[in-house]
Amino acid sequence: VWWLSGAGIANSITNAITVLIITCPCALGLAVPAVQIVATGRLFERGVLVKSGDTLERLAEIDKAIFDKTGTLTFGEPELLGAAGIAPAVLEQAAQLARASRHPLARALAKAAGPGPVASDVFETAGCGLEANLNGRPTRLGHAAWCGAISGAQGSELWFRSGDAAPVQFRFRDRVRPDTAAMLSALEQRGISVEMLTGDREAPAAELAAQAGIVSWRSGVDPKRKAAHMEALRKRGYHVLMVGDGLNDTGALALAHVSIAPGTAADVSQLAADMVLRGDSLMPIVEAVDVARKAHRLVLQNFAFAAVYNVAAIPLAMLGLVTPLIAAALMAGSSLIVTLNALRLAIGRRA
């Protein structure tokens, strides 16, 4: 345009180069990645592994959080009660099944029995338990009804049945993570409603809910019902965060808007989750929400600055009021400002 208007070829080319430099979309291209890199680095230092770039964008949108119980709100390291009163032969047979599972109660049973062989051809039914043939007899380890028993216990338990013998009960005790109540309260203060879904029975679920201050909870929820509940919430417009660790949580983790698994979770649960927690604390979940929301604000600020920069600088370049050197400085300066804005997340961490 400058050349057609009668300007010299050198001046026209200089102005054209200036416009190209000014319009280089560096600030726009850095707006999101710069924030994501700083945010994921901050969370990694706090023990949260973010597996994908869009996880933080989705986490900033959540308005409801659903938690599993055993291994999530508790340590998932229950202890077998009354082991001395259980026949050693029965304990060892049950342990052979338990050693084939990563379920917290199964691990506690295997730990109480000590090292030993693992049953072959063990089949796990999600939400029910384990079954195999031991010494030519069908054996099961899992829920009371699945093993043909009627339970009246108030705590966590497993039942074992070998052939036609009477079912044997194994009772356990688990510890609630010390920061569970504080973490749930912090989420509610941020406008995120909390709910607990567990496959455990009503009595232990009610006890934990009372300790942690959970108002909304459901017990005896199998994997299909968990997944169906997640789908129903999605259709109602909720953006749900699911936190779980077991095989029975995999479907719900996959259907959630964002999902988190503890580092001690089953491998398939960690693969299905968007984020993985390291360590025993649950408070990094709250920080992850805070970082995601601040990162969202910073991304919008970066986009706004990039837009204002282009609207203001491009006309100046087109009018020939800027030299290529000044254009290069402006372009580099815009990229630097976007990057420094993203680094506010790191500054907030040290503060």
Active site residues per annotation: 68
Q: Are strands 193-197 and 216-218 parallel, antiparallel or unpaired?
A: parallel
In the block, which residue shows the tokens 């567990």?
198
345: nearest Cα among 294, 299, 282, 272? 294
Residue 111 is which amino acid?
Answer: K
- Nearby residues of 180 by Cβ (< 8 Å), 6 or more positions away: 73, 74, 211, 212, 282
**Rounded Cα distance, 107 and 12, in Å:** 76
Give me the phi and psi of 17, to 5 degrees please.
-65, -40
- Nearby residues of 205 by Cβ (< 8 Å), 6 or more positions away: 69, 196, 198, 217, 218, 219
For 5, the 3-state DSSP assignment is coil
**Rounded Cα distance, 170 and 107, in Å:** 12
